[in-house]
Amino acid sequence: MKDQPLDTHIHTDKVPEIEKWFRAAIKADASDLHLKVGMPPKLRIHSKLKNTTGEILTEERIEQLVFEIMSPAQKEFFLQNGALDFAYPVGPMDRFRINAFRQRSFVSMAARRISGSIPPFEVLHVPPVVEKIAESHDGLILVTGPTGSGKSTTIASMIDHINRTVATHIVTIEDPIEFLHVDKKSMVSQREVGIDVPTFEDALRSLMRQDPDVVLVGEVRDNITLTAAMRAAETGHLVFGTLHANNCSQTIQRILDMFPQEERDLARQTFALTIRAVISQQLLPGIRPDVPRIPAIEIMINTPIVRKLISEEREADLPTAIRAGEGEGMQDFTESLRRLVEEEYIDLKKALEYAPNVEELKMALKGIRAGASGIL
């Protein structure tokens, strides 16, 4: 598909009809709004799609609703290509990332809500060391986990902490933007691929000319993105990124797999020098009415021992090093699950279901933890 036109639509004083559905989504705390011919508008609330009491949508009605918020260039692109990504603002604190697409020759729409409401650390129930990690002066910080594990929310909270406490320039490159940051003590420049800049590579090429102190590269998806992130970290910037990996050890393997075999040794050494911390998380159902979901979190901090293990290709020893580093703020998933059970955030059955090692968790709940000797 050809490059999409950037979002150049100028909204008039007339409020488009579809905005009432965007506002309904905000009021219902929905994450997504869906429009499809033959069905009423649907909202995704707490991961479940729910019907609204709205009208059954016809082809003409959907086209009227969707085309009203497109610029002429965007409408022409959509009619030629059958799909279009663009954004629509609703008030000062929310906007929607919209994908209009054809299915069975009809126009459909999926709109993801992008909120300006960013939860603080205490609401997310992340360990206190996450705040300390966010206060690093430079280096690479990765938040990893499967899809839907809350990675973007954790990073948004870390960025917001910097925004509130340090006078600095934060530049984000995202596809799409998931949280809106309002300038506080810092100045925040958010660039969305396909709307503010044509491609991720274009954004990376111009990044250093924008005088950033803190950088968010969104998802680390290839060695081009990772190399740019590590280069920025090497030159004194604090860089954040997300990655799909289940734990800290797997994160390193995923990083190295992005590079050809002949480049992996240099990539390994560069990564060992630039990484500050890896935060891996999974989102679990909670048992407290006020905390319906809570993260189990593994944290690896780049101590001298961790750096040595990474440099020497000893990822298999990292879990032991993480357990040994609990005094420095590190923790593995077993320790995180133990705390969540003992503090009555999750039930034991769910903890055992998510445990990387069931027997190890059972022992930890009895106060017995594996030793950390022999890693040097």
The pLDDT assigned to 117 comes to 84
Contacts of 353 (CB under 8 A, 6+ apart): none
Share of the chain above pLDDT 70, in %: 95
Nearest C-alpha neighbor of 207 from the set 189, 195, 182: 189
The pLDDT assigned to 178 comes to 82
In CATH, which of 3.90.1300.10, 3.30.750.24, 3.90.850.10, 3.30.450.90 is domain 19-115?
3.30.450.90
The 10s digit of each residue's pLDDT in 53-68 is: 999 999 999 999 999 9
User: What value does the mean pLDDT take over residues 240-246?
Assistant: 95
48 pLDDT higher than 90: no
The pLDDT assigned to 370 comes to 65
16 pLDDT higher than 80: yes
Q: How far apart are CA 222 and CA 307, in angstroms?
A: 22
User: What value does the mean pLDDT take over residues 119-145?
Assistant: 96
User: What value does the mean pLDDT take over residues 273-298?
Assistant: 95
User: What value does the mean pLDDT take over residues 8-27?
Assistant: 80
The 10s digit of each residue's pLDDT in 327-361 is: 899 999 999 999 999 999 999 999 999 999 999 99
The four Cα atoms 340, 345, 349, 351 give a dihedral, to 10 degrees, of -30
The pLDDT assigned to 247 comes to 94
Q: Which residue has the higher pLDDT, 6 or 322?
A: 322
227 pLDDT higher than 90: yes
User: What value does the mean pLDDT take over residues 128-153?
Assistant: 94
The pLDDT assigned to 62 comes to 96
The 10s digit of each residue's pLDDT in 142-171 is: 999 998 888 999 999 999 999 999 999 999
Q: Which residue has the higher pLDDT, 188 or 31?
A: 188
Provide the residue ranges of all domains of the chain, joining segments of one domain with +.
Answer: 19-115, 121-365
The residue behind tokens 């992008």 is 114
Share of the chain above pLDDT 90, in %: 78
Q: How far apart are CA 50 and CA 53, in angstroms?
A: 10
10 pLDDT higher than 50: no
Neighbours of 313 (CB within 10 A): 12
- Topology (CATH level 3) of domain 121-365: Rossmann fold (3.40.50)
Q: Write 193-201 long-range contacts (CB < 8 A, 24+).
A: 194/4, 194/6, 194/85, 195/6, 195/7, 195/85, 195/86, 195/87, 196/6, 196/7, 197/173, 198/3, 198/6, 199/3, 200/173, 200/175, 200/225
- Binned at pLDDT 50, 70 and 90, residue 116 comes out as confident
1 pLDDT higher than 90: no
The pLDDT assigned to 225 comes to 93
pTM to 2 decimal places: 0.83
The pLDDT assigned to 8 comes to 46
pLDDT, mean over the chain? 91
374 pLDDT higher than 90: no
83 pLDDT higher than 50: yes
133 pLDDT higher than 90: yes
- Binned at pLDDT 50, 70 and 90, residue 248 comes out as very high
